[in-house]
Amino acid sequence: MKLLRFGEAGHERPGILDPEGRVRDLSGIVDDIAGDVLTSEGLARLRELDLSELPVVEEGVRLGACVGRIGKFVCIGLNYIDHARESGMEPPAEPVVFNKWTSAIVGPNDDIVQPRGSDRLDWEVELGVVIGKAGAYIDEADALDHVAGYCVVHDVSERSFQFDRGGTWDKGKGCDTFGPTGPWLVTADEVPDIGSARIWLEVDGERHQDGTTADMIFTVPQIIAHVSQFMSLHPGDVISTGTPAGVGLGLKPPRYLRPGNEVRLGIEGLGEQRQRVVAPK
């Protein structure tokens, strides 16, 4: 299944993509794509639906983030060898864990707002893992049992805030609009081999990132097992698993986003995002 949320920002309704690529309204069935809806039992109920009986949503409707009421937005840094090296850092011995604030989450095609004082606004396409089963101290062998599905995440980053302002990376990762998520959550049963999906990003039509999830240092099961040693995971939590080489910071000379740029990114089987960079208000 491809689950999604549509409508005006802050008032999104749950939806599902039918086999013809049309958005169908799920609001008469569930209140959101969130919480218990993402458990194995919740997803099983949705699989039993006859989608032809659900209302069709008008074409061109805005898509919101594909998961609602996200509790934790956990990120993994330096998880591709080439990206670690282009950043001037050694590949880590264990996953680097940081957070994006949930106030950063926006729809997959919403504008990216350059923050006030920003001069090194960067791009990072990432695989998002959506948790569907709660757990702590999860064994790596059981980790995929805790996954509801996968999505595209854009880990927008402000490098000056991240590296030059003191403290942790979180300053440069959680600004408003820095977490486009979607267009849809693809349930795990439709993604049999997430470990070898093509992942890419373009700025103004020029491709900068072009890799595969097979290049991740730490796999999805390893990441889930590791993160769950430090926090319990709950349905609707999202883990963003790192980015391949080709970010603006790593180019020679470095290149960064400016108002007017258009970013397009995607992951094989999980859909595409498209954003415009705009100036701060």
The confidence score (pLDDT) of residue 81 equals 86
Q: Where does residue 51 rank: exposed (0-12), middle (13-18), buried (19+ CB within 10 A)?
A: middle
Q: Considering only CA atoms, which of 30, 4, 241 is closest in space to residue 109?
A: 4
Per-residue pLDDT for 11 more than 90? Answer: yes
The CATH number given to whatever domain includes residue 174 is 3.90.850.10
- Asked whether residue 29 is domain-assigned, the answer is no
Residue 227 located in a structural domain: yes
pLDDT band at 51; cut points 50, 70, 90: very high
Distance, CA of 132 to CA of 6 (rounded, Å)? 21
Residue 64 has pLDDT above 80, yes or no: yes
Beta bridge partner(s), residue 125:
154
Closest Cα partner for 242 from 125, 82, 147? 125
Name the residue type at position 13. Answer: R
Contact in structure between 15 and 70 (CB atoms under 8 Å): no
Give the C-alpha distances (Å, rounded to integers) separating 38 from 1, 64, 103, 146, 184: 12, 17, 21, 10, 13
Q: What angle do CA 41, 70, 160 make, to 5 degrees?
A: 150
Q: What is the pLDDT of residue 90?
A: 83
Long-range contact set of residues 49-52: C-beta below 8 Å, sequence gap at least 24: 49/16, 51/16, 51/18, 51/19, 51/24, 52/18
Query: Is residue 1 domain-resident?
Result: no
The reported pLDDT for the residue numbered 86 is 83
Residues 108-118: tens digit of each pLDDT: 999 999 999 99
Quick check: 121 pLDDT over 80?
yes
In a domain, 57, yes or no: no
| CA–CA distance, 28 with 56 (Å, rounded to integer) | 12
Residue 168 CB coordination number (10 Å):
11
Is it the case that residue 225 has pLDDT exceeding 80?
Answer: yes
Quick check: 89 pLDDT over 80? no
Q: How many domains does the chain have?
A: 1
Asked whether residue 272 is domain-assigned, the answer is yes
Mean pLDDT of 150-157: 98
Reduce the DSSP state of residue 191 to 3 states and report it.
coil
Domain residue limits at 88: 67-278
**Does residue 156 form part of some domain?**
yes
Is there a domain that residue 232 lies in?
A: yes
Residue of 259, 242, 271, 268 whose CA lies nearest to 203? 259
Instruction: Give the mean pLDDT of 230-251.
Output: 97
Distances (CA, A) of 263 to 53, 123, 176: 36, 8, 17
In sequence order, the β-bridge partners of residue 207 are: 202
- Is the pLDDT reported for residue 155 higher than 80? yes
Centre a 10 Å sphere on the Cβ of residue 117 and count the other Cβ atoms it contains: 10
* 119, two tokens: 């001069």
